[in-house]
Structure 1
Amino acid sequence: MITIDREGLIAKANGSYGIPEAEYERLMGFPATSIEDFRKKARQPGSELSSFISGKT
C-alpha cells in the first residue's frame, strides 16, 4: 500500500492514527516495521528477533 496523502489520512483518522503501531511496540518491545525490515532482522544471527522466532529466549 502506498499512502499518497498522509496528512489527509491522519485528519480522517480523527486522532486514532498511530495508536495501533504504538500498542504493537509496547507489547512486542520493538516497533512495527516493513516486511523487508522484519526479514532482515530475523536473518541476523543472535538478534533478539531471531531468538524470538526460533524459540530460544
Structure 2
Amino acid sequence: MASSTQNANSEKHYIALILAIVVGLVGVFIRFADFGLASAIGNILMVVGSILVLRAVFAILK
C-alpha cells in the first residue's frame, strides 16, 4: 500500500499534468488567432492535451 501511495505522490505525474494542461490551454488560445489554420492547429493541440491529461490521471490512479 505504501508503494502505491508513493507512486501516486510522485512528482513526475504532476509535472506531466501541468505540461498537458498548458498544451491544452495553448490550443484554446490558438483557436482565436488570426491565421489560416489556427482552428485546426488549436483543435489538434486540445486533443493532444486531453489525451496527455487522461494518461497522467490514470497513471496516478494506477
TM-score by length of 1: 0.30
Relative to its length, the structure with more helix (as a share) is 2
Report 1 or 2 for greater relative contact order, CA contacts < 8 Å, sequence distance ≥ 6.
2
